[in-house]
């Protein structure tokens, strides 16, 4: 929810335009400005204050607690000329909100976050859990220092500046993409891709602690990071099993299910008669993990109960295959003002661009620093299509 606060008639008019355009996203706060800001700060994900930045700074300063939980704050001036991202540019979404407000009100978005200002994605805004020296490594990237990119686990990333991907050297900053449990070293950031699928089988009534304990134990023994788990996978007959649902909730991941017939068609190294009799497939944990393809990292293993009774849970871990995202973008009749907003957004987010050289020249300025451009001339249309698919 976005809280809207204003103090003047002009501010209220702009405020009401946002409220009318985004009725499901916004809430207008009346009363004294100080009280409205306090209430909105506690109740909303973002704030738009139609006030001077100095006044907003004084009002929100005592309320700030942590950048990961504070709401994003945008200030719009009295004349509606500027939308200033003041607090929470990345984690609070204020930078993007300022741009949205700019499009709606005809205001100029003012973004001073260093990475955004130069068109570089922040290392903490890539949608991946991040560990390590984010500020230090980001500074090295911005300063043009040689930065090592260690893709220990292959995963699609947005365009990064040309200095990222330099050869390893002593003391260099490092961006490591890994689902391994090893933590970051000095001057290193580790990005945790959602690359692991954990297949889970469970007897009726299996305790949450037994299921979760087995998942965490299997990952730890294999040297894998729990933050890279994308989902728990199982057979649909177990879709309401409390132990599986509870384990997924504690891990913060979804439960993905497949039918017994789908799992029975998956070739696994360790089939068993027990699940075949119980749910109609010779494998649950391994088959569910492998159903979407990938590399089996941890074969089926069973839980061990302290009371010596039979295991009630099984798991298997797979590193799923990597796929990128492919967008087909048309430039329209060619005039820049006729390029659609959606096409512009796709061009700005691309890490690889494949296109006809003369068309690429028309929109080259929209690309992020570090975007890989694969261009060719007339007559190579089929080759460009194949290249785009292969890159994705």
* Chain length of the chain: 392
Instruction: Write down the CATH superfamily of domain 196-319.
Output: CobE/GbiG C-terminal domain (3.30.420.180)
Q: Can you give the pLDDT at residue 121?
A: 66
Query: Which of 305, 235, 297 lies closest to 265, judged by CA?
Result: 235
Tell me the per-residue pLDDT of 100-119, one tens digit each, with 9 for 90 and over: 888 888 888 888 765 565 56
CA distances from 17 to 80, 81, 95, 105, 165 (A): 11, 14, 20, 8, 45
Q: What is the 3-state secondary structure (H, E, C) of 1-61?
A: CEEEEECCHHHHHHHHHHHHHCCCCEEECCCCHHHHHHHHHHHCCEEEEECCHHHHHHHHH
> Cβ distance 329 to 384 under 8 Å?
no
Sheet holding 72-76, edge to edge: 26-28, 2-6, 46-50, 72-76, 82-87, 108-110
Tokens of 364: 């080259």
Tokens of 349: 């987010």
Q: Can you give the pLDDT at residue 221?
A: 96
CA distances from 239 to 122, 206, 225, 276, 312 (A): 37, 13, 25, 17, 16
- The angle that helices 94-105 and 9-21 make with each other, rounded to 10 degrees, is 100
Residue 186 DSSP class: T
Tokens of 324: 């990128």
* Location of structure tokens 């929810």: 1
By DSSP bridging, strand 173-177 and strand 188-191 are: parallel
Whole-model pTM: value is 0.70
φ/ψ (deg, to 5) at 119? 80, 20
φ/ψ (deg, to 5) at 316? -150, 150
Low-confidence ranges of the chain (pLDDT < 50): none
Q: Can you give the pLDDT at residue 115?
A: 59
* C-alpha angle 60-64-70 in degrees, rounded to nearest 5: 105
What residues does CATH 3.30.420.180 cover in the chain? 196-319
> Cβ distance 177 to 150 under 8 Å?
yes
* C-alpha angle 310-297-260 in degrees, rounded to nearest 5: 60
Say what the alpha-carbon torsion angle 246, 252, 257, 263 is, to the nearest 10 degrees.
-100
> Cβ distance 23 to 49 under 8 Å?
no
Q: What is the rounded distance in angstroms from the CA atom of residue 128 to the CA atom of residue 151?
A: 14
Query: Which of 271, 273, 253 lies closest to 316, judged by CA?
Result: 271
Tokens of 10: 């002009």
φ/ψ (deg, to 5) at 157? -125, 155
Q: Can you give the pLDDT at residue 33?
A: 87
> Cβ distance 284 to 201 under 8 Å?
yes
Q: Can you give the pLDDT at residue 199?
A: 97
What residues does CATH 3.40.50.11220 cover in the chain? 2-112
CATH of the domain spanning 2-112: 3.40.50.11220
φ/ψ (deg, to 5) at 220? -65, -45
Radius of gyration of the chain (CA): 25
Name the β-bridge partners of 354.
374
Q: What is the rounded distance in angstroms from the CA atom of residue 384 to the CA atom of residue 250?
A: 45
How many C-beta neighbours within 10 Å does residue 221 have? 11
Q: Can you give the pLDDT at residue 198?
A: 98
Question: Which strand (E) or helix (H) includes residue 191?
Answer: strand 188-191
């Amino acid at each position: 929810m976005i809280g809207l606060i204003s103090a003047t008639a002009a501010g209220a008019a702009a405020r009401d335009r946002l409220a009318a355009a985004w009725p499901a996203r916004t809430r207008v706060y009346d009363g004294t400005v100080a009280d409205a800001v306090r209430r909105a700060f506690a109740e909303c994900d973002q704030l738009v204050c139609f006030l001077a930045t100095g006044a907003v700074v004084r009002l929100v300063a005592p309320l700030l607690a942590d950048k990961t939980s504070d709401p994003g704050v945008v200030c719009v001036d009295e004349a509606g000329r500027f939308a200033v991202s003041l607090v929470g540019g990345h984690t609070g979404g204020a930078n993007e909100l300022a741009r949205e407000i700019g499009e709606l009100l005809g205001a100029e978005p003012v973004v001073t976050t260093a990475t955004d200002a130069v068109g570089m994605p922040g290392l903490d805004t890539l949608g991946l859990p991040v560990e390590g020296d984010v500020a230090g490594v980001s500074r090295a990237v911005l300063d043009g220092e040689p930065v090592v990119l260690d893709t220990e686990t292959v995963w699609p990333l947005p365009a990064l500046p040309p200095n990222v991907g330099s050869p390893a050297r002593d003391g260099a900053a490092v961006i490591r993409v890994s689902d391994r449990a090893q933590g970051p070293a000095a001057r290193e950031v580790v990005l945790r891709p959602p690359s692991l699928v954990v297949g889970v089988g469970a007897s009726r009534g299996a305790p949450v602690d037994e299921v979760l304990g087995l998942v965490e134990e299997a990952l730890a023994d294999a040297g894998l990071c729990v933050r890279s788990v994308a989902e728990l996978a199982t057979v649909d007959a177990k879709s309401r099993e409390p132990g599986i649902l509870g384990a997924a909730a504690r891990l913060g991941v979804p439960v993905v299910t497949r039918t017994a017939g789908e799992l029975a068609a998956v070739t696994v190294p360790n089939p068993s008669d027990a699940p075949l009799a119980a749910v109609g497939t010779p494998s649950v944990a391994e088959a569910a993990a492998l159903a979407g393809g990938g590399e089996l990292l941890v074969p089926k293993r069973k839980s061990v109960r302290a009371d010596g009774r039979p295991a009630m849970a099984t798991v298997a871990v797979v590193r799923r295959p990597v796929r990128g995202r492919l967008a087909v973008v048309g430039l329209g009749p060619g005039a820049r003002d006729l390029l659609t907003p959606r096409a512009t957004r796709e061009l700005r987010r691309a890490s690889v661009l494949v296109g006809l050289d003369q068309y690429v020249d028309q929109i080259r300025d929209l690309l992020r620093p570090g975007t890989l451009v694969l261009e060719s001339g007339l007559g190579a249309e089929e080759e460009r299509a194949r290249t785009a698919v292969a890159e994705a």
